[in-house]
Amino acid sequence: AQKVTQAQTEISVVEKEDVTLDCVYETRDTTYYLFWYKQPPSGELVFLIRRNSFDEQNEISGRYSWNFQKSTSSFNFTITASQVVDSAVYFCALSEANGANSKLTFGKGITLSVRP
Amino acid sequence: DAGVIQSPRHEVTEMGQEVTLRCKPISGHNSLFWYRQTMMRGLELLIYFNNNVPIDDSGMPEDRFSAKMPNASFSTLKIQPSEPRDSAVYFCASGLSDYPDTQYFGPGTRLTVL
C-alpha cells in the first residue's frame, strides 16, 4: 500500500524567510508520480507540480523549488523568500502509475503561516 | 478554459434529508474523482470513474453514499439519508487516465448536516 507522510503539521515563519516542507512516501511500485497541492484559506486545491519517479532532477519555478530524492523516498518543497500570500495548507500526494488507476494518496498536509 | 465546476458550493441540511452534490469535469478529461475532506481524516478518495465507469468505490463510507456518472460531463454524489458525521467538504477532481496525469480539483462543496 502506498503512504505519504508529512511529519510537520504547522510551520510559522516571518516574511522573506525560506521554508522547506518535507514529504516522505512509501510505495512498492517502481513507476509512480508525486504531486504538491496548495490549499489557500479560500479552500480550493491548487495543483503546483507533478514529478515522475524516473525524473530526479530538481525543479525550480520562481520562488518555489522541489527536491526529489529516491534514495530517501522524499520529495521536499522549498519556498524562497516567503510571502504572506504563501500562507496555506500544502499537501504532498502520490499516484501509482498502474494503467487507469491513478488515484491519489494524500499526506495530512502542512499548515504554513507567513507573518508580515 | 473552465475548470471543474461543483454545485452547490454550500449546503446546509437536516439529518435524514437527501443531499445531492454535482460535478462537471473539465472537458476532455476521462477520469473523475470524488474526495471528502475532514479535519479528522484529511483528504479521502471516495470513488473514481474512468470513461464514466466506476473503477474503485472502496472509499465510499457506507450504503448511504452513492455516485453516478451518466455521461462524460456530469457526475453526482448522493447521500441518503444524511447524518451529522457526513459534514465535510466534498471535492470533485478530473484528469486524463490514459496516461496518469494531474488531477484538477473543483472548488468543493461544504456540506453541513444539522
Q: What's the pLDDT at A60?
A: 86
Whether A29 and A11 have beta carbons less than 8 Å apart is answered as no
- Nearest residue of chain B to residue A36 (CA atoms): B102
Cross-chain Cβ contact A47/B105 below 8 Å: yes
- Asked if pLDDT for residue A109 goes beyond 70, the answer is yes
The reported pLDDT for the residue numbered A34 is 92
Cβ–Cβ gap B105/A104 under 8 Å: no
Tell me the pLDDT tens digit for each residue of B24-41: 999 999 999 999 999 999
Selected for mutation to probe chain A from B103, B104, B111, B112 (highest A CB count within 10 Å) is B103
Nearest to B33 among A97, A98, A103 (CB): A103
Of B21, B27, B26, the residue nearest B7 (C-alpha): B21
A100, pLDDT greater than 70: no
Pair A40, A113: CB distance under 8 Å: no
Pull the grid cell for residue B48: 473514481
Rg (CA), chain B: 13
Say yes or no: A77 contacts chain B, CB-CB below 8 A: no
Does residue A98 register a pLDDT over 80?
no
pLDDT tens across A19-71, in order? 999 999 999 888 889 999 999 999 999 999 988 888 888 888 899 999 999 99
Task: Please give the residue that has the higher pLDDT: either B60 or B102.
Answer: B60
Listed residue (A107, A91, A108, A87) closest to A17, CA to CA = A87
For B76-88, write each residue's pLDDT tens digit: 999 999 999 999 9
Can you give the pLDDT at residue A52? 86
Query: In this model, does residue A103 exceed pLDDT 80?
Result: no
Asked if pLDDT for residue A85 goes beyond 60, the answer is yes
Q: Which of B79, B92, B80, B90 is nearest to B49 (CA)?
A: B92
Q: Is B112 exposed, middle or buried (0-12, 13-18, 19+ CB in 10 A)?
A: middle
Q: Residue A2: what pLDDT?
A: 85
Lowest average pLDDT, out of A1-15, A37-51, B9-23, B99-113, goes to: B99-113
How far apart are the C-alpha atoms of B7 and B23, rounded to whole Å? Answer: 7
Residue B56's pLDDT band (boundaries 50, 70, 90)? confident
Q: Is the pLDDT of residue A9 over 80?
A: yes
